[in-house]
Amino acid sequence: MSVRVAGASLADARSHGWLSRDNTIAEPGFNRWLVPPAALAIHLCIGMSYGLSVFWLPLSRALSVGQPAPAACPDMSIATALFTTTCDWRVSDLVIVFSIGIVMLGLSAAVFGGWLERAGPRKAGLAAALCWGGGFLIGALGVYLHQLWLIWLGMGLIGGIGLGLGYISPVSTLVKWFPDRRGMATGMAIMGFGGGAMIGSPLATLLINTFKTPTSAGVWQTLAVMGGLYIVAMLCGAFGYRVPPAGWQPPDWVAPSAKSAMITSGHVHLDKAHKTPQFWLLWTALALNVSAGIGVLALASPMLQEIFGGALIGQPGVGFGQLDAGQKTQIAAVAAGFVGLLSLFNILGRFFWASMSDRIGRKLTYATFFVLGCLLYAAAPWAAGIGSKALFVLFFCVILSMYGGGFSTIPAYLADVFGTQFVGAIHGRILTAWSTAGMVGPFVVTAIRQAQVDAGIQGAALYTRTMYILAGFLAVGFLANHLVRPLAARWFMTDAELSAVEVEGSASSAPLRFGSGGIGRGGFSPLAGLAWLAVGIPILWGIWTTLSKSLILFS
């Protein structure tokens, strides 16, 4: 019976547009393990937002390639920088592209989250591909014409919209395909966002060196090639998306609500979610976890150099200020290895902690982030004081794994608390915590550091106060997470309300079990193997490249 109903529903769906949500309903024989690599294809592309810094130095000499000094204009205003064709850009003018992109990520995810739930992941993925890849193409034009405003518009504003749409596009779909492994499923996709720069940065460097000539920095050509690659890869991901029929379940699956009071079987409407205390408690928990982690990322390189100084190159007792230019270049290379190692743990933590949350629960996972994070931040000054580079690096690798884990666990946490019907849109709104943290974290850390520098503090003591304050951030986050409770029944939609907003495209009210018509059948298949190979090879290349650079830390 369920097979006939599903078949009828699928036939009706064909009357809609080929980009519509109804037209992405999985047909018999579809393997649910094809959805995570589709999500990874998109997240590995938009994750390059973390690696855009590879372009800033070459762009700061775009007009003066091969010249002994940049074509600088003293006292150049931002307005002049946006339109000049005769002055090299400052790095500070270029970095604004990243800030615009992160702000637009949060805003677009919040604004378009409701539309995504109605339109479906395929249409959202297509829009993300055109905005993100198209933003790179516009940026390439801006570099070619030497117009900074075009780079801000393309890679910042338009690309940022692509970031937001691409980031949230797979969340709701993955949660519905993997109700038995919510954390693992979202962790696999969001791991890709952390890994995008790990792949994109060395690729960009390779392309820049290939296209560079005595008269060209090779950046506009690199941006054009990468923009085209990103459009193709993200379109493959978007057209790989499928949604399960309404009520589909894995075999022998016990509803989570029967095992945990923290996992609901109901659904909260998007219009009500932000009115609950739980939404703002989770918003606060995410914002504080991200603020602490992103603050460290912003200063990871100078922090290691200033704390350990000459000890990084076998000269213990020699402070950072006592090093000559050549020695500072050497320790900068060591610090770059530290940053690469932090990025790798950020990526691996996204999958590890999200998968772990399937076993121990989302609330306990977040509690672990805050308790363990507090202890490690508080212990970091001790490790620096005794001169233990290994312990210091280990502490921050674990901290950054939990920073990434916070991103990958929050979608499953939201599904547990608010249900799955609008989880993609709710996730989009809560990502405004990321935009907030992206401004607060680096500002607080850099302000504290500058105050310490102005006070004449040097060496290991320079960052002690910073570490304690970040531990305080996590202590407050622990309290916010601790206060999260199951929602009262009044917040959930009634059966009639749920039917009114149901958008899965199936007329069946009875659950479709795993294997009904072959839908969602798991396990290895040649097609699934090819899909995983397509995303796995770039990931492995990125990991190998990162590890190779990180070895300098211990050489």
Residue 209's CB is within 10 A of a number of other CB atoms, namely: 11
Residue type, 295: G
Measured between alpha carbons, how far is 260 from 256 in angstroms, rounded to an integer?
6
Q: Which two tokens stand for residue 393?
A: 């690096």
Helices 121-145 and 91-119: angle between axes, nearest 10 degrees? 160
Measured between alpha carbons, how far is 117 from 272 in angstroms, rounded to an integer?
15
Task: Name all domains of the chain by residue range, CATH numbers in brackets.
Answer: 37-254+523-548 (1.20.1250.20), 280-300+338-505 (1.20.1250.20)
Tokens 């590995």 sit on residue = 44
38-47, 167-176, 370-379: segment of lowest average pLDDT: 167-176
The span from the first CA to the last CA of the chain, in angstroms, equals: 66
Strand locations in 361-438 (E): none
Measured between alpha carbons, how far is 289 from 440 in angstroms, rounded to an integer?
12
Q: Phi and psi dihedrals of 70, rounded to 5?
A: -70, 155
Measured between alpha carbons, how far is 351 from 402 in angstroms, rounded to an integer?
10
Assign 66 to helix, strand or coil.
Answer: coil
Measured between alpha carbons, how far is 492 from 411 in angstroms, rounded to an integer?
18
Tens of pLDDT, residues 69-79: 778 788 889 89
Q: Which two tokens stand for residue 130?
A: 């055109």
Question: pLDDT band for position 41 (50/70/90)?
Answer: very high
Q: Which helix (H) or strand (E) holds 491?
A: none
Question: pLDDT band for position 9 (50/70/90)?
Answer: very low
* Residue 265 C-alpha from the chain's centroid: 28
Q: In terms of Cα–Cα distance, which of 361, 479, 443, 414 is closest to 175?
A: 414
Tens of pLDDT, residues 484-539: 999 999 999 988 888 877 644 443 333 444 443 345 555 567 888 899 999 999 99
Assign 108 to helix, strand or coil.
Answer: helix
Q: Which two tokens stand for residue 255?
A: 């509803």
Measured between alpha carbons, how far is 351 from 184 in angstroms, rounded to an integer?
7
Tens of pLDDT, residues 266-313: 999 999 999 999 999 999 999 999 999 887 877 787 888 888 888 888
Q: In terms of Cα–Cα distance, which of 258, 128, 245 is closest to 196?
A: 128
